[in-house]
Amino acid sequence: MAVIEVTHPLVRHKLGLMRRKGISTKEFRELAAEVARLLTYEATRDLETESKTIQGWAGPVAVERIKGIKITVVPILRAGLGMMNGALDLVPSARVSVVGLYRDEETLEPVTYFKKLSGRMKDRTALILDPMLATGGSLVAAIDMLKEAGCRRIKGLFLVAAPEGLARVEAAHPDVDLYVAAIDERLNEQGYIIPGLGDAGDKIFGTK
Ligand code: PRP
Ligand code: URA
């Protein structure tokens, strides 16, 4: 498994802004979308292109275009929705596959409550979107679902990941590449990432 920490100065700056105590819902949501755009840019670097000759203003010109129709973004409900529009800004024709998972607050294990995947999953590259990779349980469950549906190329995009979660995903799904804006220090006793962002879902939706 490759873990790509996207250390572009814009990503570092924006993530730093997101860590501020008392940040407004509006600003957190805007920054989540902006960082999602930058992660998507990195995660799509290896998309295949094909050459095509078109009529340009001065005659025929060879251009490149993305081959096929093959991306599905996969926001993990709820917080992953905060990254969806940022990703779709760059791949506007991508299909959206939605997976609903929440973490049981006692056991920290994921509970699945929704799944609606796009068609032709075998042909698609899936870009899983979730701001937080903490214990890794939610991501492992989401990847299990995508693989059951036949998906063979899966990447995950996260704002912040904990080393413990990265190790769990590596053990379960070594073929999946992860793009993260930051790898933080650790999890606390409640399974929150330190220093982290706090509860990303609550901050994106303005709950609590
Ligand atoms: C958060 C987050 C991830 C999960 C990460 O979701 O958005 O999906 O926790 O934790 P894990 O790596 O330990 O599984 P949460 O359960 O808070 O639900 P929400 O998105 O509905 O707020
Ligand atoms: N979910 C969050 O929203 N934040 C964390 O730090 C861990 C899980």
Taking only the tens place, the pLDDT of each residue in 19-50 is 999 999 999 999 999 999 999 999 999 999 99
CB 187, CB 193: distance < 8 Å: yes
30 lines ligand 2 (CB under 6 A): no
Class of domain 3-47+67-205: alpha beta
Grade residue 195 by pLDDT with cuts at 50, 70 and 90.
Answer: very high
Handedness of CA 127, 114, 142, 10 (dihedral sign): positive
pTM over the 0.95 mark: yes
Q: pLDDT at residue 6 above 90?
A: yes
Across the range 132-139, mean pLDDT stands at 97
3-state secondary structure 126-166: EEEECCEECCCHHHHHHHHHHHHCCCCEEEEEEEEECHHHH
138 lines ligand 1 (CB under 6 A): yes
Q: pLDDT at residue 1 above 90?
A: no
Per-residue confidence (pLDDT) for residue 105, from 0 to 100: 87
Q: pLDDT at residue 13 above 70?
A: yes
| Domain ranges within the chain, ordered by starting residue | 3-47+67-205
Is 103 tagged catalytic? yes
Handedness of CA 31, 69, 180, 99 (dihedral sign): positive
Locate 126 and state its tokens: 């899936």
Residue type, 31: L
Across the range 81-107, mean pLDDT stands at 95
What is the chain's mean pLDDT, rounded? 96
Across the range 154-166, mean pLDDT stands at 98
7 assigned to a ligand binding site = no
Instruction: Kindly report the protein residue whose alpha carbon is nearest to atom 3 of ligand 2.
Output: 199
Per-residue confidence (pLDDT) for residue 25, from 0 to 100: 98
- Using a 10 angstrom Cβ sphere, with 0-12 exposed, 13-18 middle and 19 or more buried, the burial of residue 16 is exposed
